Structure 1
């Protein structure tokens, strides 16, 4: 989806450089104005033959021709998430193209750090109708995302801030939560993961109502995007003002949170048995 947006922007720029308006270019391409607009705004799958026609009309050749056709081919490749029944407008489609993720969660562990049992328990708690197959596909896709944390090529660098109460909430039961804490501790030792815990003792903080993510597409020269999950759905924000506000909020959370060393020590302590004792099982 992100590469399609990049391609659309490049095609719009080439049209403008050719001195053509939408209304002037569309008939030359045998497109309607609305179709050309949808292409440039990445609202449709962009057929490679359309791209060739546009490059001809805009008098583009040489290396630029080759680069844009390669980009069109990449943009049309099916994403791995589609095998799990997820669409191209899903959050995962954007995260897959990102180089960095900043995430704050209030009441649960970030998806990029979850175990299968923890993710399954979370999903079952949400009153959303799913078949067993759909549930297991979503769990599998969530776990698949973690491959990029250890990938040699195109790794995802993550900074997470977890509100401390999420570490004490027995999602799926005490045993599932303890396993989850151990998994966080393991992932926090990776070079790609920076773990921060926001202590309960901080009291009121900058993001009380909800968690959020910020995705950075540095390698694609695309602007950052903020993403908010809430009880009734999700919202993506790409306006500069909204993303700047999200970035400043995240920086404030980081300033209030424990550093990675202290955060890891807390998680290890809970994973080592303190969580079970607090849950009344020991």
Structure 2
């Protein structure tokens, strides 16, 4: 991870996500920025700043007016309004009970635009590395009321996410630290786990993907229990400024938190490096994954 990149783009995550949704809604209609601004009786710069997340004040009635102009459906309008109502702060908490969590995934938009991902996961295989069988097993338990067709769509989305690390043109740089418990916790069956671990081991042979295992014997390298987190870094524009500031995403069963403050990002990077220093090297990590895959096979 790079420490010398400028972190501040002059906006906050809720504002940037609001702008992205509005821009996508406008573009879906084929309407130009100038045309939309004229119909709203605004100057072009006013709408441009809103779409770039640069507006200091966001009025709910203006946002609703844009939704009506673009013909967004009820679900997307609710998500847009929810974002507009968020305070423009650098640390943003989002409860799983709200409309965005239920119907709109902010994380996916950030992940798709990232150039680097650093993931620490102590409990479960990250979605971007999951096999179809592993993902379906988890979703069948969590979304127990879903039909098979709905489950297939959920799993399909997760599989599509993996394209960013396997594509030939500018794949995302992925660094993952997995605790050994992730490898030994059975999800679904021994057969599913064996296939999952071989899948990760195979992916880790790619030049842009590094997966290292934090073994049980490493104890607590940071001196405390560290929950899962993801550091997302973004490409730079023609002026050498990142299109998004680095964002740290942390998830729990009660909600998500997004951190952008320089101090928070720095601490997470330092913690990731501390954990990484305690891991097995690339090849031993791959060997351990394949060894445990064989153990899963033998105990079926």
Q: TM-score normalised to the size of structure 1?
A: 0.69
Partners of 1:108 and 1:38 in 2: CA distance: 27
CA RMSD in angstroms comes to 3.4
Query: What's 1:72 paired with?
Result: none
CA distance in 1 between partners of 2:128 and 2:13 (Å) = 32
SS at match of 1:155: coil
Find the partner of 2:184 among 162, 168, 185: 168
Structure number with greater Rg is 1
Does the aligned pair in 1 maintain the 2:234–2:246 contact within 8 Å? yes
User: Equivalent residue for 1:275?
Assistant: 296
State the alpha-carbon separation in 1 of the partners of residues 16 and 134 from structure 2. 37
Q: Which residue of 2 aligns with 1:212?
A: 229
How far does residue 132 in structure 1 lie from its aligned partner after superposition?
3.5
Name stretches of at least 5 consecutive residues in structure 1 with no aligned partner.
Answer: 1-8, 13-36, 61-67, 69-75, 77-81
Cα distance in 2, alignment partners of residues 169 and 39 from structure 1: 36
Structure 1 Cα separation of the partners of residues 276 and 43 of structure 2? 46
> In the aligned structure 1, how far is the partner of 2:188 from the partner of 2:246?
34
* Counterpart for residue 261 of structure 1: 283
1:65 matched to which residue of 2?
none
- The answer on whether the counterparts of 1:196 and 1:258 sit within 8 Å (CA) in structure 2 is yes
C-alpha distance after superposition, 1:29-67 (max 9, x if no partner):
xxxxxxxx9996552514423568644689x9xxxxxxx
* Contact 2:17/2:106 (<8 A) preserved: no
Once the two structures are superposed, the pairs formed by residues 144-155 of structure 1 within 5 Å of their partners are 144-155=160-171
Task: Report if aligned partners of 1:104, 1:212 keep a CA contact under 8 Å in 2.
Answer: yes
Aligned pairs for 1:117-266 (under 5 A) are 117-126=133-142, 130-206=146-222, 208-220=225-237, 221=242, 222-266=244-288
Equivalent residue number for residue 23 of structure 1? none
Q: Does 1:43 align with 2:18?
A: yes
Quote the offset at 1:169 in angstroms.
1.1
Kindly indicate whether the alpha-carbon contact (under 8 Å) linking 1:99 and 1:219 is maintained by their aligned counterparts in 2. Answer: no
Q: 1:40 to 1:262 in 2, by over 3 A?
A: closer
Q: In the aligned structure 2, how far is the partner of 1:183 from the partner of 1:261?
A: 15
| Contact 1:118 1:177 survives alignment (8 Å) | yes
Compared CA separation, residues 274 and 239, structure 1 to 2 (3 A): same
- Whether contact under 8 Å (1:97, 1:217) holds in the other structure is yes
For 1:79, the equivalent position in structure 2 comes to: none
After TM superposition, give the deviation of residue 163 of structure 1 in Å: 0.3
* Whole-Å separation in 1 of the counterparts to 2:116 and 2:260: 15
Q: Cα distance, 1:141 vs. partner?
A: 1.1
Deviations 1:240-276 (A, max 9, x none): 22222211111111011111111111112222x2233
Change over 3 Å in CA distance of 1:219–1:89 after alignment to 2: farther
